[in-house]
């Protein structure tokens, strides 16, 4: 725990994504396109966690994620934690929750859906209880764990 | 401006459906009017459908509107790579209402979001076909005098048949009892059975289609069992003749029972049924005219009172 505190505290400005399941760390790293970042990025995996046993963590300097970017992460992996740091202070700490509606995040699995054939945004309604997303246009549902992102 | 498009009627209230049925009945009383004089109705058939297009165009013409549009996607700019959005935007400059048919699912909903001109969905792939549902409801209402508490038997291809799915959902307020009669491979999809459970709609599934199993039906809704729907052709050969309605199967049926079919039929209703008093599929198609007259007027904001009081 001491190590983690140090890592977080060492950021002047930026974001920390915490509580990443260890098997999802590299998926999340890929989704964030970390390879394009020029400022310092720290990636940790198999770190000790009192809640999860082991976990992953990503720390990026000078980056503040948009809701759109965070929605993509939440689809792949719910319940991760975001910490936003400005001038060494934690200004925000929250769970990265799946929104009720996903705009331009998910690709519809239905090949004859209009969204797969027209340059347009996709919209999906999220049913957290059933673990499904439903295409606003064609009505087809997909299980959250099996979604393809745009 | 409020968008009055009709993309789906599956979630329409009892009041709204009754209102449209009353409007259709008013048009049946007097199909030829001038209430749409000066209006332009566009019929954009990105996918050919002669029957539906003729019905809509007849409805528009009989109410005095002028009709523009295309019947074949090959002659449109879509083949040059124009997007649906651009086509809809362009036609919106010319027409007061757009009736559209498209092979892609969700196309009509998307079209309704990119224009202020009301859209009527005349079928989007295997998704929705509300004007067919409206004419089915009107046919049931007209022949049974009510939509309440009916035994509705759906026969044939219940997996891919969008008309049965739409009808099922639209009957939700009326306490129906459904019988789903289909081969295993074409049975009612799980999501619609789930829908029935959620909404408290009673249903019974069976595979036998005989004189006895249809004896309690008020409505027998027949659909085509198409060869191309089967992954296993042996299975098709086994069931292809099991879902054909013959006149000699009508001996025990209820006096009020009517046979509906969205048409075109191939062989699932024998021609000897046509002369039975239970056969209703041709009148059903005619009801489509009145239902579509009602839908066009409704999206244009023309009320039942205005139609009744028209000079």
**Distance (Å, whole) CA B48 – CA B46:** 7
DSSP B48-77: --HHHHHHHHHHHHHTT-EEEEES-GGGSG
Nearest to A114 among B107, B126, B191 (CB): B107
User: What integer is the mean pLDDT of B129-139?
Assistant: 96
Nearest to A122 by CA among B3, B85, B83, B106: B106
Does the pLDDT at position B208 exceed 80?
A: yes
C-alpha distance from residue B89 to each of A140, B112, B216, B311 (Å): 27, 10, 50, 34
Report the pLDDT value the prediction gives residue A5, as an integer from 0 to 100. 55
B73 touches chain A (CB under 8 A): no
Element (H, E) at B92: helix B84-92
Task: Summarize pLDDT for B220-243 with one digit per residue, the tens.
Answer: 999 988 777 777 888 888 888 889
As beta bridge partners, residue B21 has none
Residues B203 and B150: beta-carbon distance below 8 Å: no
At residue B252, does pLDDT exceed 60?
yes
Hey, are the CB atoms on B104 and A119 less than 8 Å from each other? no
> Do A136 and B107 lie within an 8 Å CB cutoff?
no
Q: Is the peptide bond before B222 cis (omega within 30 degrees of 0)?
A: no
- Summarize pLDDT for A60-86 with one digit per residue, the tens: 999 999 988 898 899 888 889 999 999
- Rounded to 10°, the helix B130-144/B162-170 angle is 60
Domain annotation for chain A: domains and CATH numbers:
2-95 (3.30.70.140), 101-149 (2.30.30.20)
pLDDT of residue B119: 98
pLDDT attached to residue B77:
62
Q: What phi and psi, each to the nearest 5 degrees, are found at residue A27?
A: -65, -45
Catalytic: which of B39, B62, B101, B165? Answer: B101
pLDDT score of A4 = 52
- Residue A147 Cα to chain centre, angstroms: 14
Percentage of residues in chain B with pLDDT exceeding 70? 97
Pairing of strands A41-49, A53-61: antiparallel
ipTM of the complex: 0.88
The pLDDT value given to residue B239:
81
Q: Which CATH architecture has domain B14-128+288-308?
A: 3-Layer(aba) Sandwich (3.40)
Does residue B189 register a pLDDT over 70? yes
- A30: CB partners within 8 A, 6+ apart: none
Cβ pair A114:B83 closer than 8 A: no
Among chain A residues, the shortest Cα distance to B87 is held by: A118
Tokens of B100: 């559209």
Between CA B122 and CA B97 the distance in angstroms is: 12
> Is 3.40.50.2300 the CATH number for B131-285?
no
pLDDT in the model for residue A51: 85
pLDDT digits (tens, 9 = 90+) for B283-296: 999 999 999 999 99
The domain limits of chain B are: 14-128+288-308, 131-285
Same fold across B14-128+288-308 and B131-285: yes
Q: In this structure, what DSSP letter does residue B216 have?
A: T
Query: For A99-141, how does the pLDDT look when each residue is reduced to its tens digit (9 = 90+)?
Result: 999 999 999 999 999 999 999 999 999 998 889 999 999 999 9
Lowest mean pLDDT among B6-15, B61-70, B123-132, B231-240: B231-240
Q: What mean pLDDT is predicted for residues B236-259?
A: 92
Q: Are A105 and A66 in contact (CB under 8 A)?
A: no
State residue B160's pLDDT score: 84
The shortest C-alpha distance from A117 to chain B (Å) reads: 8
- The overall average pLDDT reported for chain B is 93
Higher pLDDT, A4 or B138: B138
Residue from B49, B68, B96, B58 nearest B299 by CA = B96
């Amino acid at each position: 725990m001491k190590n983690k505190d140090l890592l977080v505290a060492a950021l002047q400005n930026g974001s920390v994504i915490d509580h990443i399941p260890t098997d999802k760390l590299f998926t999340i790293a890929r989704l964030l396109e970390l390879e394009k970042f020029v400022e310092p990025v720290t990636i940790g995996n198999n770190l000790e966690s009192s809640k999860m046993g082991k976990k992953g963590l990503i720390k990026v300097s000078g980056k503040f994620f948009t809701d759109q970017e965070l929605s993509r992460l939440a689809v792949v992996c719910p319940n991760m934690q975001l910490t936003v740091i400005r001038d060494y202070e934690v200004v925000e700490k929250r769970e990265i929750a799946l929104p009720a509606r996903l705009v331009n995040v998910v690709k519809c699995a239905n090949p004859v859906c209009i969204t797969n054939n027209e340059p347009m945004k996709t919209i999906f309604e999220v049913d957290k209880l059933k673990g499904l997303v439903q295409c606003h246009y064609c009505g087809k549902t997909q299980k959250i764990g099996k979604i393809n992102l745009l | 401006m409020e968008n009055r498009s009709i993309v789906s009627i599956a979630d329409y209230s009892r009041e709204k459906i009754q209102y449209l049925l009353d409007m259709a009945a008013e048009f049946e009383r007097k199909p030829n009017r001038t209430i749409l004089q000066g209006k332009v109705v566009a019929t954009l058939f990105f996918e050919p459908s002669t029957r539906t297009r003729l019905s809509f165009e007849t409805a528009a013409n009989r109410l005095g509107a002028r009709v523009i549009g295309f019947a074949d996607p090959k002659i449109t700019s879509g083949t040059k790579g124009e997007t649906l959005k651009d086509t809809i935007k362009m036609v919106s400059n010319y027409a007061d209402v757009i009736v559209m048919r498209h092979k892609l699912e969700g196309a009509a909903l998307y079209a309704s979001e990119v224009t202020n001109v009301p859209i009527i969905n005349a079928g989007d792939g295997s998704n929705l076909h509300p004007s067919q549902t409206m004419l089915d409801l009107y046919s049931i209402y007209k022949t049974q005098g009510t939509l309440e508490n009916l035994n509705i038997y759906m026969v044939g291809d219940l997996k891919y048949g969008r008309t049965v799915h739409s009808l099922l959902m639209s009957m939700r307020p009326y306490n129906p009892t459904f019988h789903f009669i289909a081969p295993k491979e074409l049975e009612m999809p799980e999501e619609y059975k789930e829908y029935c459970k959620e909404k408290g709609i009673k249903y019974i599934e069976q595979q036998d289609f005989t004189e006895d199993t249809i004896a309690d039906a008020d409505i027998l809704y027949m659909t085509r069992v198409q060869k191309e729907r089967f992954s296993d052709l042996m299975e098709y050969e086994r069931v292809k003749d099991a879902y054909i309605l013959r006149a000699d199967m009508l001996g025990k049926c209820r006096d009020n029972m009517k046979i509906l079919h969205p048409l075109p039929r191939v062989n699932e209703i024998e021609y000897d049924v046509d002369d039975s008093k239970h056969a209703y599929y041709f009148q059903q198609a005619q009801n489509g005219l009145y239902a579509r007259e009602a839908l066009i007027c409704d999206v244009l904001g023309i009320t039942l009172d205005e139609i009744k009081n028209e000079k």
